[in-house]
Amino acid sequence: MILFWYCSLLLLSDVIAVNFTTCYSEYPNIICSCDHHQMICSNHGDTLDFIPKVPNNIKMLIFTNNTLNHVTEMTFVNMTWSKIAHLSLARNDIRFISKHTFREFTSLVFLDLSYNAIPVYVQISFSDLHFEENGSLILNHMNITETKMNELFRYLDTNGIKTLSLAYNNLKFIDSCDWVNFLSLKVLNITGNKLKNMTFKCQTKVEIIYADFNNLVSFPNFCLGNDNSTNYRYTKFKTSVPSLRKFSISNNIIKEMPPTVLRCMDDLRELFITKNSFHKIELQTFHKLHTLEMSSIFRYYQINKPQSHSKFLKASIEHLMLQNLSFGMFTTDLGIFEGLHHLRSLDLSYSDLPFSPMIFKCPSNQIVVKFDEVDITECRIKMYAL
Ligand SMILES: *[C@@H]1O[C@H](CO)[C@@H](O)[C@H](O)[C@H]1NC(C)=O
Ligand SMILES: *[C@@H]1O[C@H](CO)[C@@H](O)[C@H](O)[C@H]1NC(C)=O
Ligand SMILES: *[C@@H]1O[C@H](CO)[C@@H](O)[C@H](O)[C@H]1NC(C)=O
Ligand SMILES: *[C@@H]1O[C@H](CO)[C@@H](O)[C@H](O)[C@H]1NC(C)=O
Ligand SMILES: *[C@@H]1O[C@H](CO)[C@@H](O)[C@H](O)[C@H]1NC(C)=O
Ligand SMILES: *[C@@H]1O[C@H](CO)[C@@H](O)[C@H](O)[C@H]1NC(C)=O
Ligand SMILES: *[C@@H]1O[C@H](CO)[C@@H](O)[C@H](O)[C@H]1NC(C)=O
Ligand SMILES: *[C@@H]1O[C@H](CO)[C@@H](O)[C@H](O)[C@H]1NC(C)=O
Ligand SMILES: *[C@@H]1O[C@H](CO)[C@@H](O)[C@H](O)[C@H]1NC(C)=O
């Protein structure tokens, strides 16, 4: 295989300048700033315990890290309810939310209540919470357990919720049946819980799941039904995730990725499995993906090269992120990349490559790799070890 290295400079998109002006101030140092659509009042701790007058044009209120122990409809009298689409009330030490708090918010598409120790009966207030299309409900860092989660969702109008975030809570187990009533849910973020297992007993139309930083020991089974058959090759399984296209499960302790593991994930295109505890990986497993990130896993483990003429050789992979790869552990050639004719980017940062990549050292370590006739056009390779 012929290998060329050459450089390209990263194009940095221009930073968008936003003009914020002070729209509320109070002696000695409470300041809120506004631009055309958003108002930001943050980090005043217990010196700010009410929402000041919100100008009429404001659609987005970021009111975080202040104090709002008791939230009621009155809390929001200083704003035009029907205008507000985006409301962030994270980290306000909210302990109580009254029943009709959200009733007058008719245009809401984003609500963030993260970092509040809200007691369980907040679910009553959720009965008056309605989202427009593409709604986001963000409930991170709230010590939510399985029981609390089910209570929270009991009266919630799940129509219109597209994104649900339950990151950094206290969930130990989750099943797709838990969100089966969220008919428009597309993105689920359950990163940073204590999940030991994750099951898919109900079919879900979710498209993206982030489940990084949990304690998962095995890759979830996405096949519906309890068929124990090990003869996967001849059995057609029904998927519980017909629309799942992106799944991120990095930083768990998954030990195995059997070659059949993606068999019920026909629509999956992006998989992130960095930092797990694999002992062995068959690259062939991933032949349908176009993006695969599996960094920091091969250093001490075994990577099985695909057999010639295998499916992986005709793989559709376009973006391959294999940071922290040790070529010392297996045949020191780049055979594992052979035949990846759709490859557009390859990230081998922090890897100890068996060849000298610094033939063309370039600014900002941006390197484009060319394999045979295949151009890898947007490659990011940073070399830190040889
Ligand atoms: C910010 O203000 C400057 C000058 O007042 C103006 O030219 C620019 O368009 C403004 N930018 C935005 C994003 O409103
Ligand atoms: C919250 O605000 C206080 C000041 O009131 C500040 O010291 C603290 O760093 C802020 N916390 C976060 C997470 O921003
Ligand atoms: C409304 O805002 C004003 C200052 O702008 C404040 O004095 C008042 O307490 C606020 N009302 C409520 C109910 O928070
Ligand atoms: C919701 O999201 C979809 C897909 O991104 C978009 O086509 C649609 O216009 C959005 N609807 C609203 C009301 O923003
Ligand atoms: C989180 O919830 C558990 C059980 O519901 C409770 O024992 C624990 O004290 C809570 N932790 C915090 C920080 O509130
Ligand atoms: C999931 O939520 C956590 C906590 O807010 C956040 O740090 C992380 O970026 C989210 N993940 C994605 C992919 O949105
Ligand atoms: C997942 O964990 C829960 C709680 O620990 C347990 O009840 C359940 O049987 C487990 N399911 C599977 C499939 O391992
Ligand atoms: C699956 O295997 C278990 C234990 O081997 C057995 O008890 C159960 O009946 C099997 N289920 C099916 C559907 O074959
Ligand atoms: C590389 O992987 C090893 C374990 O496989 C890990 O300990 C180390 O932190 C990783 N290094 C980087 C830079 O990610």
Q: Is the CB of 163 under 6 A from ligand 6?
A: no
d(Cα 73, Cα 71) in Å, to the nearest integer?
A: 7
Contacts by 191-194, CB closer than 8 A, 24 or more apart:
191/167, 192/167, 192/168, 193/166, 193/167, 193/168, 193/169, 194/170
What is the atom index within ligand 1 of the atom nearest the CA of 35? 14
Going by alpha carbons, the residue nearest to atom 1 of ligand 4 is 134
Q: Is the CB of 173 under 6 A from ligand 7?
A: yes
180 within domain boundaries: no
Residues 289 and 160 in one domain: no
**Distance of alpha carbon 168 from the chain centroid:** 12
Best of 113, 191, 206, 250 for a ligand 6 pocket test (most atoms within 8 Å of beta carbon): 191
Interval between CA 19 and ligand 1 midpoint (Å): 6
Share of the chain above pLDDT 90, in %: 54
Q: Is the CB of 226 under 6 A from ligand 8?
A: yes
The string of pLDDT tens digits covering residues 315-333 is 678 888 877 766 555 444 4
Q: Please check the confidence at residue 40 and state whether its pLDDT lies above 60.
A: yes
Going by alpha carbons, the residue nearest to atom 8 of ligand 5 is 143
Selected residue with higher pLDDT from 384 and 107: 107
Q: List, in sequence order, the alpha helices (H) in the chain.
A: 123-126, 146-153
Interval between CA 255 and ligand 7 midpoint (Å): 17
d(Cα 197, Cα 175) in Å, to the nearest integer?
A: 9
d(Cα 332, Cα 364) in Å, to the nearest integer?
A: 27
Specify the pLDDT at position 132: 84
Q: Please check the confidence at residue 375 and state whether its pLDDT lies above 60.
A: no
293 within domain boundaries: yes
Residues 161 and 287 in one domain: no
349 within domain boundaries: yes
The string of pLDDT tens digits covering residues 217-249 is 999 999 987 555 555 555 667 899 999 999 999
What is the atom index within ligand 2 of the atom nearest the CA of 47? 5
d(Cα 345, Cα 188) in Å, to the nearest integer?
A: 27
Q: Is the CB of 141 under 6 A from ligand 2?
A: no
294 within domain boundaries: yes
CATH number for the domain that contains residue 146 = 3.80.10.10
Interval between CA 18 and ligand 1 midpoint (Å): 7
pLDDT band of 337, cuts 50, 70, 90: low
11 within domain boundaries: yes
Share of the chain above pLDDT 70, in %: 73
Selected residue with higher pLDDT from 122 and 372: 122
Interval between CA 296 and ligand 9 midpoint (Å): 5
Residues 166 and 306 in one domain: no
Q: How many domains does the chain have?
A: 2
Domain termination residue (choose one: 170, 189, 216): 170
d(Cα 115, Cα 345) in Å, to the nearest integer?
A: 37
- Cis amide linkage into residue 28, ω under 30° from 0: yes
d(Cα 137, Cα 87) in Å, to the nearest integer?
A: 10
The string of pLDDT tens digits covering residues 74-127 is 999 999 989 999 999 999 999 999 999 999 999 999 999 999 987 767 888 999
Nearest-Å Rg of the Cα atoms of the chain is: 25
Domain termination residue (choose one: 139, 170, 201): 170
282 within domain boundaries: yes
Residues 132 and 15 in one domain: yes
334 Cβ neighbours under 8 A, 6+ residues apart: 1, 3, 371
179 within domain boundaries: no
d(Cα 211, Cα 189) in Å, to the nearest integer?
A: 6
Domain termination residue (choose one: 170, 190, 206): 170
Residues 289 and 158 in one domain: no
Domain containing 71 equals: 1-170
71 within domain boundaries: yes
> What mean pLDDT, rounded, does the chain reach?
80
Specify the pLDDT at position 385: 28
Residues 2 and 132 in one domain: yes
d(Cα 317, Cα 286) in Å, to the nearest integer?
A: 8
Best of 16, 19, 38, 57 for a ligand 1 pocket test (most atoms within 8 Å of beta carbon): 19
